[in-house]
Amino acid sequence: MTSRWWAPARVNLIGEHIDYCGGRVLPMPIQFGTTVTASRHDGRRIVATSRNQSAAVEFAIGTRPSLPAGHWGWYVVGAVAVLQSIVDVDGLQFDVEGDIPASGLSSSASLSTALLAAGADALGVELSGLDLALAAQRIEHDHVGVACGLMDQAVIASGVRGAAYLFDCRTLSGRSIALPADMPSIWVIDSGKPRALVNSAYNNRRRETTAAAAALGCAKDRLADASVDEVDRLPGVLRKRARHVIGEQRRVADALAAIDGHDWIRFGALLIDSHRSLRDDFEVSCEELDCLVELLVASPGCLGARMTGAGFGGAVVALMENGANPVSLDGYRAVSGRIARAFEVRSFGGVQRRHG
C-alpha cells in the first residue's frame, strides 16, 4: 500500500521559547511543507530518497546506518523506531520532497510529521493529532538530540486552514483561532543567516529555564507559572530568562485579545515587544535578525515584526498592512551583506493526505 502525506511548516506568531515552560503559544501552519510517499514491502529494509538531497538513506531493520550528526536520515531512523514501537515494520520505502524556503520555519517537525503520517498510514496504524505530535517530538529528543517543546509538532499535526493554533503546553490541548478577514497580511522574511549552533544553544536555554523553575519552586517545565514579582529573587542570567518567559506568556494573552478586538496596531506592538525580550532577556536573536526587524518596523505599512522560531538566524515574521510589501530588504543587504527573501504566508491547515 502506498500513502502520500503532506505536512506544513509553521510560523510562530507569538509565544516564543515558552512551549517547554508550560506556556501557551500561537503558531500558524503555512503553505510550504514536506510531502512523503511511503510504501510497504517485506524486504526487512528501510530505503528513503529525497528530491532535495542527493544520496538515499538505506539500512536493514534492526540496524543503525552510519550517518553524520544532523543528517536528514536521522529523522527516518527516528520515524521507523517510533513506528516499530507501535507495530511490526516489515520494510518501508519513503520518498521525500519539500519546498520550505527558509530556516526557522520548523522544516524538521514538518519532515518528522510527514514521515510518521505516511509511514503509519502505509502500515495501517491510526494516530490522533496529539499522538502524532508526541511521536514527532520523540524523534527530535531520542534521535536528533534537540530537547524541543511540542509547539511545532502540535500545530503541524492539528492546525486548521485559515487559522492559527493556540496550544496550551501545560494541558497539551489546543484550539484553532480563526484569523479575521480584516487581519493584515503575515509575511516571513528569511534572513539568509544559517542557524549556527542552534541545537546546543537551545538545549542550554532549556537547562536555564529548568534551573529558574527549580529555584522558584515551580514544577519541572512550568516556569510560566511564576509571577513577575518572584522573578526578582533569581540571580542575573536566570532572572532575565524568567522575565522573558513570564512576559511572553502575558503577550500571548494580549495578542489573543487583540485578534478578538481586531486591534492590529496592538498586535503589531506585541510582536515588537516580543522581539525586544528575545533579544535582550532571552538572548536568542542575532545581528541579522535585529537588523531586519528594525528595518521592517521603520518601513511603511509594517505594524510589527519579530524573530520567529528558535533564533540564532532563520526568519522574521512581520505583520504588514494589506497591499504593503516588506520594502526595506535592500537596506538589509547593505548592512549585513546577506540577501533576505520575503514570502507572504497563509494557513492551509495541518498534516493531510495527498492523492495522486
What does the binding site for ligand GLA look like in residue numbers (CB under 6 A)? 12, 16-17, 19-20, 106, 148-149, 151-152, 309-310
Residue closer to ligand GLA by CB (options 20, 32) is: 20
**Closest distance of CB 138 from ligand GLA, Å:** 13
Look at phi and psi of residue 212 and say left if phi exceeds 0, alpha if psi is from -120 to 50, else beta: alpha
**Closest distance of CB 115 from ligand GLA, Å:** 16
3-state secondary structure the chain: CEEEEEEEEEEEEECCCCHHHCCEEEEEEEEEEEEEEEEECCCCEEEEEECCCCCCEEEECCCCCCCCCCCCHHHHHHHHHHHHCCCCCCCEEEEEEECCCCCCCCHHHHHHHHHHHHHHHHCCCCCCHHHHHHHHHHHHHHHHCCCCCCHHHHHHHHCCECEEEEEECCCCEEEEEECCCCCCEEEEEECCCCCCCHHHHHHHHHHHHHHHHHHCCCCCCCHHHCCHHHHCCCCHHHHHHHHHHHHHHHHHHHHHHHHHCCCHHHHHHHHHHHHHHHHHCCCCCCHHHHHHHHHHHCCCCEEEEEEECCCCCCEEEEEECCCCCCCCHHHHHHHHCCCCEEEEECCECCCEECCC
Contact 174, 156 (CB under 8 A): no
**Closest distance of CB 51 from ligand GLA, Å:** 24
Residue closer to ligand GLA by CB (options 314, 328) is: 314
**Closest distance of CB 15 from ligand GLA, Å:** 7
Residue closer to ligand GLA by CB (options 148, 289) is: 148
**Closest distance of CB 108 from ligand GLA, Å:** 8
CA distance 319 to 302: 6
CA angle centred on 191, ends 113 and 209, rounded to 5°? 60
Residue closer to ligand GLA by CB (options 95, 248) is: 248
Burial class (CB in 10 A: 0-12, 13-18, 19+), 127: buried
Residue closer to ligand GLA by CB (options 106, 158) is: 106
Residue closer to ligand GLA by CB (options 50, 199) is: 199
Q: Which residues are tagged catalytic?
A: 152
Residue closer to ligand GLA by CB (options 22, 149) is: 149
